[in-house]
Amino acid sequence: MARILAVCETKNGALRKVSREAVAAARALAAAMGASVDAIVLGAGTPETAGLGEAGADRVLVASHDSFDRYAPDGYAATIAAQAKDGYAAVVLAATASGKDLGPRLAVQLDAPLAMDVTALAVEGGKVVATRPVYAGKAIQQVVLDGPPALVAIRPNTFAPVAAGKAGVVQSVAAQTGTVRVRVKELKAAEQGALDVGEASIVVSGGRGMKGPEHFHLIEELAKAFGNAAVGASRAVVDAGWRPHGEQVGQTGKTVSPQLYIAVGISGAIQHLAGMRTAKVIVAINKDRDAPIFKVADYGIVGDAFEILPLLAEAIRKARAG
Amino acid sequence: MKIAVCVKRVPDTETRIKVGADGASIDEAGVKFILNPFDEFAVEEALQRREKAGAGEVVIVTLGSDAAAETIRTALAMGADRGVLLKAERIPPDGLAIAQALAAELRGGGYDLILFGKVAVDDYNHQVGTMTAELLGLPCVTAAVKLEIADGSVTAEREVEGGLEVVGCALPAVITCDKGLNTPRYPALKGIMAAKKKPIETRAAALGPVRMSVKSLGLPPDRKEGRIVGEGPDAVSELVRLLRQEAKVL
Ligand SMILES: Cc1cc2nc3c(=O)[nH]c(=O)nc-3n(C[C@H](O)[C@H](O)[C@H](O)COP(=O)(O)OP(=O)(O)OC[C@H]3O[C@@H](n4cnc5c(N)ncnc54)[C@H](O)[C@@H]3O)c2cc1C
Ligand SMILES: Nc1ncnc2c1ncn2[C@@H]1O[C@H](COP(=O)(O)O)[C@@H](O)[C@H]1O
């Protein structure tokens, strides 16, 4: 029977949410191909494997190595490639920061095509067909991959983890270090408790309409009122040095697909929209009724951000408390 | 220092995309093309390195049609020394096929540093730089926002979910460049004039096998028409009600 390999990342020993999504995507492919799913988990010590069987893996392969406590580009690639050479039809990974680094390395080692940032998968005539946004989300492309194996890196938050399976068999496989050319020396964690704009389910972004860095506390307070929101920014304010690069949303920043995106004092330039138009719900607050952001916003308030933000934060706090 | 920068000609980020008659590519009529914005960071980085070293050469490599010579000229106008155009009628969708052609050109070129953009803003493949490095057997740091080079070794920072990764490797190395690394210069008139005289070599691209094909290209579904909830502070309570009861995101 054909097999699909799903690559699972761990962080501090725990599976990342996106790993279950990769297994779910592999499961969907497997169903269309009549294949089985192996999940390969990389980490140090005894990485978490809980729930992978339930998420759709028939077998869980654990590759443990001391150097895998953080992302090890050459070791991860060598280990996964060694496994994937064993007759897999497809390899599914997540298009995270490490997945984007890893995917192309695997493609070379497996001499196989790679579709990046995939939002849907199908099988036609035995071949994997991947759907992916191109031109900054202004168009959607379907590509046919001539495997085996076909490599696909799925966009986080687009494949819902399934929960219908059984407990998968867990076994260990050999970890390889590969030829170590690149070393991750250190991870500088972002400010304590700060959520990554790319991962948060609610994002509150500020633009040039905030008038200066000293006013971004109003954005931060609204984010805090939601309890679990990240702060984002337009390129204009990042380039002005008001906010760090990591917060930039858009074509040359991050692409986000949160449940709720609130754009405050952001005009809605095409390059900004590229980064957030797939949010489930968009709210815009802008004093200019004709600002293009209102064309994509589900809900808009025409008004002065400085008046509205404190009231909105207060109302959200109340709504969540009540 | 001998530095190569691989650049791609892409549609301007302002472009409104129209699907072409084949249903698999864009209609290029009236589209303005630019140097991929992430490649501007790569060109700038190369120029700064050459300036700091006080010597060296910056070579621009692109794979594309004859029109891509114009993209090389942009980089030459910024200050690069010469260009190589690897000619292919069409740029294939398969990043590995492109990387194989670039690796064939760069192999044995004696480069200390090979720079790429993090991603091309047309196909968003996010792979050609890393694949080229892997084919050449060189270390590769992807999506660098900070780069230090001293005594033949590289220390770079890259953004990852929840922080910054500090990554080290030895030269020669491949780096793919992200926004934040530097601020690209605009070509000055003098540079534009000088670029006209700089050499561009053209040869056929040795593309690898193409194993990814585009089946269809379409436009994303429109977002459904939104609405203005109201004006000023009075609209706040209605917004919160809608977020809770209609959108159910609270
Ligand atoms: C190659 C390229 C890549 C780019 N990549 C990105 C990217 O990744 N992300 C990105 O964001 N941009 C990007 N841009 C820039 C983009 O074109 C815009 O310039 C930028 O998004 C504008 O930022 P802004 O909306 O904050 O500022 P502006 O366009 O100046 O808008 C400010 C808005 O604030 C409103 N306002 C003013 N005062 C108030 C107030 N008191 N209360 C409420 N509203 C108020 C105004 O009505 C206006 O709509 C890119 C551009 C290029 C050329
Ligand atoms: N046709 C090409 N010619 C030269 N360099 C390219 C080409 N395509 C991609 N690249 C380089 O690879 C990077 C990543 O591209 P991509 O993998 O297509 O997103 C780009 O920023 C360029 O530096």
Note whether B20 and B97 are within 8 A (CB). Answer: no
Contact B216/A141 with Cβ under 8 angstroms?
Answer: yes
Mean pLDDT, residues B6-10 taken together: 98
Calculate what percentage of chain A has a pLDDT beyond 70. 98
pLDDT digits (tens, 9 = 90+) for A162-201: 776 677 889 999 999 999 999 999 998 877 667 889 888 9
What average pLDDT score do residues A39-49 get? 94
What average pLDDT does this structure show over A112-127?
97
Contacts of A271 in chain B (CB under 8 A): 13-14
> How does residue B112 score in pLDDT terms, banded at 50, 70 and 90?
very high
E strand intervals along chain A: 3-11, 14-15, 36-43, 59-64, 88-94, 114-118, 120-124, 127-134, 139-145, 150-154, 169-172, 182-189, 202-206, 229-233, 260-264, 281-286, 299-302
Q: What residues of A are in contact with residue B237 (Cβ under 8 Å)? A: 315
CB contact under 8 A, A301 and B230: yes
> Phi/psi zone of residue A142: left (φ > 0), alpha (ψ -120 to 50 degrees), beta?
beta
Question: Which residues in chain B have Cβ-Cβ distances shorter than 8 Å to A251?
Answer: 13, 37, 121
pLDDT of res. A193: 64
Instruction: Using DSSP bridges, classify how beta strands A281-286 and A202-206 pair: parallel, antiparallel or unpaired.
Output: unpaired
Interface test with A, best of B160, B169, B178, B217 (most A CBs within 10 A): B160
The pLDDT mean for chain B works out to 96
Q: What is the pTM of this model?
A: 0.95
Tell me: the pLDDT tens digits for A190-229? 776 678 898 889 999 999 999 999 999 999 999 999 998 9
What number is the average pLDDT over the span A47-72? 93
pLDDT value at B157 more than 70: yes
Give the pLDDT mean for A89-105: 97
Find the mean pLDDT for residues A277-295.
96
Does residue B139 register a pLDDT over 90? Answer: yes
Share of chain B above pLDDT 70, in %: 100
Residue A310 burial by Cβ neighbours in a 10 Å radius (0-12, 13-18, 19+): middle
Note the pLDDT of residue B93. Answer: 97
| A288 CA distance to ligand 1 middle (Å) | 13
**Subunit contact B217:A315, Cβ cutoff 8 A:** no
Per-residue model confidence (pLDDT) at position A37: 96
**Averaged over B144-149, what is the pLDDT?**
97
pLDDT, tens only, B198-217: 999 999 999 999 999 999 99
